Amino acid sequence: MNENVARHTQLAILAVGLLSFTGILVETSLNVTYYTLTKQLGVSLSVLQWLTSGYLLMVTIVMSTTAYLIQRFAAQRLFQFAVAASLVGTTLCAIAPSFPILLLGRLCQAVATGIATPLMFYLIMALIPHRQLGQYMGLASMIISLAPALGPTYGGWLTALWSWRLIFVMIIPVVLVVFWLGQKFIHLPAKSQQRRFDWPGLLFLAVALVSLSEGVESTGTLGWYTLTTWAWATIFIAAVVLLVNHARRTESPLLNFKVLADPAVAMWAIVFFCLQFANIGLSFLLPQFTQNVLQSSALTAGLMLLPGSILGGLMSPVAGSVYDKIGPRWPLLVSNGAILLSCLLLWGFTGLLTGTIITLLYMFFRFGFNFGFGNTMSDASTRVSGPLKGDLSSIFNTLQQYAGSIGTSVLAAILAANERLMPDKKAAITQGSQQSFFLIAMLGLIGIVLTILITKYRKARR
């Protein structure tokens, strides 16, 4: 890090970043415990996946409020509340005797992550000089993208060592250290401007997100042509229409969609969404495939993802530095190209996959993801100024979390649909995984197309 950035600023960012890291680490740690939890808690995978998708859904809803919260409250007060929510949620999860209590604890943890993650990015955008923005955004991306990849290894190791409960127990001392750091070094006051909180907007957004997630799950477990599926689809469409109409009329919308008026920002938002859908979706899918098809243990399933985790984490600051020097085009083309190719290979050779092949292809995938993820938000942030940066951070972080939630729900629904239609679970998981690999590959293709369009748009504007 450059010495021009004060040490207390670096430690403030570190404190919030570590709180975000712990939340996301636990999120993906549970992916390798589902095989165990379905037996211990007596629930199906389609229900159990709400520990991830429900968590991310709550994170999304909380993140949608951060544009208001950042202006209304000082950074340290928001940080204190996030730490309290994290400690309550982690404790509930560690002692949970049943699925509902475990889910309640996860939702409390989601509140903490939903505040900490956008607060970290806001501190960076508010305190870091423009010439170092890419570097610090890359480091922030490394923190939040390393966690989901390390999670399966962490969760698999602790589950094999003793119990899945240890995943939560080990987090508590880390959160306490983070609290001490934040109390000492976070000093960013609230914005002077005040605006009313958009309660109707929050209600419409929450209903839209929940109904879409429920509809996706219903499609997988019940099928397309059922009353339940169509009911959720109707609720989703109605909520979206109400949300859009409300946002047009109110002076202080929950999410300020005006930042998406610039076509380049809007297209970067889509690329950002696709990248996170692919990232969280694949980190959910591969442990299910390795445990159910390859009959691997939770620890082995986690270890398969570890080399890719390390490579991806190392690539984030490098990608940020490359962006600072040459701009977004080539980093994003390389990023989405790697995602496209790696997932096409997973799709083409699904029936021949081994632990070694999965490890190598996941390394290629993580290289691609981390080479582009932080740079999308970095470039989008250069196209807005002043108070709109907080709105941009809120929208992008909301998209990031919901992409993970809906990505998990969609891939879980694909697996559930195949299990419903095929009596052999191993064959169903194999076919469902193959379909999912192809879907993720197409997201990489979308990213390539949009990156090219953004480049042409920017040249035309010049």
Q: Show the tokens assigned to 429.
A: 């998981």
Written as one letter, the residue type at 334 is: V
What's residue 325's pLDDT? 87
Higher pLDDT, 28 or 372: 372
Evaluate whether 311 touches 405 at the Cβ level (below 8 Å): no
Q: 333: closest CA among 454, 461, 460?
A: 454
Rounded to the nearest angstrom, the gap between the alpha carbon of residue 421 and the centroid of all alpha carbons in its chain is 30
Distance CA 153, CA 307 (A): 10
Q: Which CATH superfamily is domain 7-197+254-461 in?
A: MFS general substrate transporter like domains (1.20.1250.20)
| Residue labelled with tokens 């990015």 | 121
Window from 19-23, 312-316, 343-347, 435-439 with minimum mean pLDDT:
312-316
Distance CA 290, CA 302 (A): 9
SS3 assignment, position 295: coil
Q: Is the pLDDT of residue 109 over 90?
A: yes
**pLDDT tens per residue across span 411-432:** 999 998 998 889 898 999 999 9
Distance CA 151, CA 282 (A): 13
Instruction: Calculate what percentage of the chain has a pLDDT beyond 90.
Output: 49
Burial of 194 per CB tally in 10 Å (0-12, 13-18, 19+): exposed
Q: Between the ranges 33-47, 61-75, 151-165, 172-186, where is the mean pLDDT highest?
A: 172-186
Window from 99-113, 155-169, 187-201, 402-416 with minimum mean pLDDT:
187-201
In angstroms, what CA-CA distances link 212 with 208, 286, 435, 449? 6, 24, 21, 26
Q: Is the pLDDT of residue 2 over 50?
A: no
Buried b (16+ CB within 10 A) or exposed e, 272-294: bbbbbbbbbbbbbbbbbbbbbbe
Q: Is the pLDDT of residue 3 over 60?
A: no
CA angle 128, 133, 136 (to 5 degrees): 85
A 10 A CB-CB count for 428 gives 20
Higher pLDDT, 348 or 135: 348
Distance CA 93, CA 84 (A): 14
Q: 379: closest CA among 427, 444, 330?
A: 330
**pLDDT tens per residue across span 182-194:** 998 898 777 665 6
Evaluate whether 67 touches 390 at the Cβ level (below 8 Å): yes
Rounded to the nearest angstrom, the gap between the alpha carbon of residue 136 and the centroid of all alpha carbons in its chain is 19
Distance CA 422, CA 406 (A): 24
Window from 95-99, 254-258, 437-441 with minimum mean pLDDT:
254-258
Q: Is the pLDDT of residue 112 over 70?
A: yes
Distance CA 401, CA 403 (A): 5
Evaluate whether 151 touches 52 at the Cβ level (below 8 Å): no
Distance CA 359, CA 282 (A): 12
What's residue 334's pLDDT? 95
Evaluate whether 391 touches 265 at the Cβ level (below 8 Å): no
To the nearest 10 degrees (0 to 180), the angle between helices 75-95 and 171-185 is: 170
Distance CA 309, CA 369 (A): 11
SS3 assignment, position 311: helix
Distance CA 434, CA 415 (A): 10
How many helices (H) and strands (E) are present in the chain, helices listed first? 18, 0
**Strand runs (DSSP E) across 303-361, as ranges?**
none
Evaluate whether 81 touches 133 at the Cβ level (below 8 Å): no
Binned at pLDDT 50, 70 and 90, residue 132 comes out as confident
Q: 52: closest CA among 25, 77, 75?
A: 25
Q: Is the pLDDT of residue 148 over 90?
A: no
With left for phi above 0 and alpha for psi between -120 and 50, is residue 43 left, alpha or beta?
beta
What's residue 193's pLDDT? 59
Q: Show the tokens assigned to 404.
A: 């993970």
Distance CA 432, CA 418 (A): 6
Binned at pLDDT 50, 70 and 90, residue 292 comes out as very high
Written as one letter, the residue type at 260 is: L
Domain spans in the chain, listed from the N-terminal domain onward: 7-197+254-461, 198-253
Q: Show the tokens assigned to 106.
A: 């996860």
Q: 405: closest CA among 394, 417, 413?
A: 413
What's residue 149's pLDDT? 67
CA dihedral 7→10→16→18, nearest 10 degrees, is -100
